[in-house]
Structure 1
């Protein structure tokens, strides 16, 4: 049993509690606020003058599959041998010893979604996991947590440069549509108990068609976002819009579909034409229109240690502070479908807890301790 007492708790559900405590037992939060206990806790941390929050969540990263500091040997995020690879899994390429995981813990980030890259029209399955552990299978929170797709410059540039499809946005949409129709036909044959040759890729796409997992699609430009929404309607898919860089150009149109958006990495440079109209205002404009917004670093495009600063910048440019906080905690957990376990400090949820020296929305504040499943995984020396 652990007790963190007398701090200011930002619960994650909109509440802020002063002079409050968190009781942890068996890797779970058991009480929040004014707590009582019949036996003496094994560890007591006095948080007087400090802030206590849930662990932060980044909904779109390439942690472990695009390792830092080792170059090509650590680049396992794009299987560029084909533009259609729904059979691959990010899980199989994650190295939990990637330095990025350590950076995440130091920054109070305790949950991440790891995706394949955006080189392919359909890129494969993603996974949501905790940022602490030596064996990736033991870090998993949800597997799979989505299917990656990509629209726009990346697939057409990479595969077009090799002299094969897709070379245009039309080609990307046609290839996506064709593959989903194949998956529909494969699924129908299985349901009719026909003999069919095993096809892992089509089987995985069946999870998308059945809405077992969402399609999470890379789309920066407004026209690519509209194409994605058109295809989602055509195939009756659950989706999330990943990046949504020009979402501020068509917020009301996006809001009609009631799909969430992962906005970012806004801290990056305008390295390609798709990013020419990026800005910190996007998250706030989408939120005001009724779109559910999470914020991402797209690590390592922007280091995961800047997730909180990205939320602060969004708050400085129109996103309400409570929504900016939710975009990297409870709303992010809902985006990933894991809000029953993480995203807020409430009884019964995982004890992913961060202790700060000051209000985390003060840019100069810093993490003192990070706990994952109740275990201390980082402490400031």
Structure 2
């Protein structure tokens, strides 16, 4: 049992608690009280003059697959054998020894979603994990966090550039629709075979699609340009699928529509150069427009596009551009937790949630400050 005392607790969902005592035990937060008593026998951590936040969450990265200092590792994130590869699982390509995980902890990031890349229309399933440990299966929070999909330039250039379908945005949409329809047909055939007691050949990729069709997990669709975002929404509405928009670079042009559709967006990586046509309108104004319209969004690094340890820097730059600090904090904590559907376990400092906590000597959005203590499941992780 640990008690962090006399700390300013930025709880996110319950405001700021001054002179707080935060008690953790068994990997969970037990209590958060102003001037609360320290339980007998608890290890005391003096938080005088310090700030306590929930662990930050990066909802869209390729850490452990695109490894640091490994030449050509960027290619490892895409299964370059076809446009539709739903059988691929991110968890099977993650190296837990990648230094990106320790770099994440050094910036107060205690959870992340690792996804396949965006070269394929259907890229495979993502996984959510905490960056501690040496065995991936013991790091996992959720092994199947959604089906990665992509629209826009990446699949057009990657697939069309190799002489494969699709080679246009129209082809992207047609390919995605066919993949989803194939999954529905598979589900129906499987159900009929089970009802008749007949043999049925299992297809692992189609099995990965079933939780999407059953609305247990969402499609997670890479889309930068406004028209691609609308195509993603259109297709998911046609098939009654849940979805998130990954990147949402031109979300500012359709912010009211995104609010109407109750879209959840993972925005970023914004602090990069404009390396292709579809990101020519990238800028911090996207966040301001989404905030004004009431769209739920979180900030992402898309590591290694931006190093994962710079996630708090992205928030600081957003604040400099006019985003309020409260929303910036939410975009690193409760908003990505909701995006990943793990907000019952993390994203705020509340009793019953995982004891993933970060102690700061000063404002977390002052990039001169680094975490002094990072707890994951109540244990020191640095």
TM-score by length of 1: 0.96
Question: Could you tell me which residue of structure 2 aligns to residue 328 of structure 1?
Answer: 332
Question: Could you tell me which residue of structure 2 aligns to residue 306 of structure 1?
Answer: 310
1:257 aligns with 2:257: no
Contact 2:21 2:38 in 1 (8 A): no
Question: Could you tell me which residue of structure 1 aligns to residue 15 of structure 2?
Answer: 15
Question: Could you tell me which residue of structure 1 aligns to residue 133 of structure 2?
Answer: 133
Q: Which of 224, 236, 240 is the equivalent residue of 2:228?
A: 224
Counterpart Cα distance in 1 of 2:76 and 2:157 = 19
Counterpart Cα distance in 2 of 1:312 and 1:62 = 22
Cα deviation for residue 319 of structure 1 reads 2.6
Deviations 1:143-200 (A, max 9, x none): 2111100000111101111111111111111011011111111111122226543211
Contact 1:128 1:141 in 2 (8 A): yes
Cα deviation for residue 243 of structure 1 reads 0.1
Question: Could you tell me which residue of structure 2 aligns to residue 27 of structure 1?
Answer: 27
1:248 aligns with 2:252: yes
Contact 1:32 1:346 in 2 (8 A): yes
Structure 2: 5+ residue stretches without partners: none
SS of the residue 1:144 aligns to: coil
Question: Could you tell me which residue of structure 2 aligns to residue 39 of structure 1?
Answer: 40
- RMSD of aligned residue pairs (Cα, Å): 1.3
Q: Call closer, same or farther: CA 1:6–1:287 in 2, change over 3 Å.
A: same
Contact 1:23 1:35 in 2 (8 A): no
Counterpart Cα distance in 1 of 2:272 and 2:93 = 25
Counterpart Cα distance in 2 of 1:66 and 1:295 = 20
User: How many residues end up aligned between the 2 structures?
Assistant: 377
Contact 1:262 1:296 in 2 (8 A): yes
Contact 2:218 2:243 in 1 (8 A): yes
Deviations 1:124-154 (A, max 9, x none): 0000110111101001111211110000011
Contact 1:285 1:319 in 2 (8 A): no
Question: Could you tell me which residue of structure 1 aligns to residue 63 of structure 2?
Answer: 63
Counterpart Cα distance in 2 of 1:250 and 1:58 = 24
Contact 2:8 2:19 in 1 (8 A): yes
SS of the residue 1:52 aligns to: strand
Question: Could you tell me which residue of structure 1 aligns to residue 78 of structure 2?
Answer: 78
Counterpart Cα distance in 1 of 2:261 and 2:74 = 37
Q: Decide which moves more: 358-367 or 256-265.
A: 358-367
Contact 1:261 1:294 in 2 (8 A): yes
Cα deviation for residue 3 of structure 1 reads 1.4
Counterpart Cα distance in 2 of 1:259 and 1:200 = 29
Question: Could you tell me which residue of structure 2 aligns to residue 101 of structure 1?
Answer: 101
SS of the residue 1:186 aligns to: helix
Q: Decide which moves more: 310-319 or 133-142.
A: 310-319
Contact 1:243 1:263 in 2 (8 A): yes
Cα deviation for residue 75 of structure 1 reads 4.7
Counterpart Cα distance in 2 of 1:31 and 1:375 = 17
The equivalences for 1:105-184 within 5 A come to: 105-184=105-184
Q: Call closer, same or farther: CA 1:69–1:242 in 2, change over 3 Å.
A: same
Contact 1:90 1:124 in 2 (8 A): yes
Counterpart Cα distance in 1 of 2:132 and 2:324 = 31
1:198 aligns with 2:202: yes
Question: Could you tell me which residue of structure 1 aligns to residue 361 of structure 2?
Answer: 357
Structure 1: 5+ residue stretches without partners: none
SS of the residue 2:125 aligns to: strand
1:214 aligns with 2:215: no
Contact 2:3 2:38 in 1 (8 A): no
**Dislocated runs of 4+, deviation >6 Å:** none
Question: Could you tell me which residue of structure 1 aligns to residue 345 of structure 2?
Answer: 341
Q: Call closer, same or farther: CA 1:254–1:74 in 2, change over 3 Å.
A: closer
Counterpart Cα distance in 2 of 1:275 and 1:293 = 18
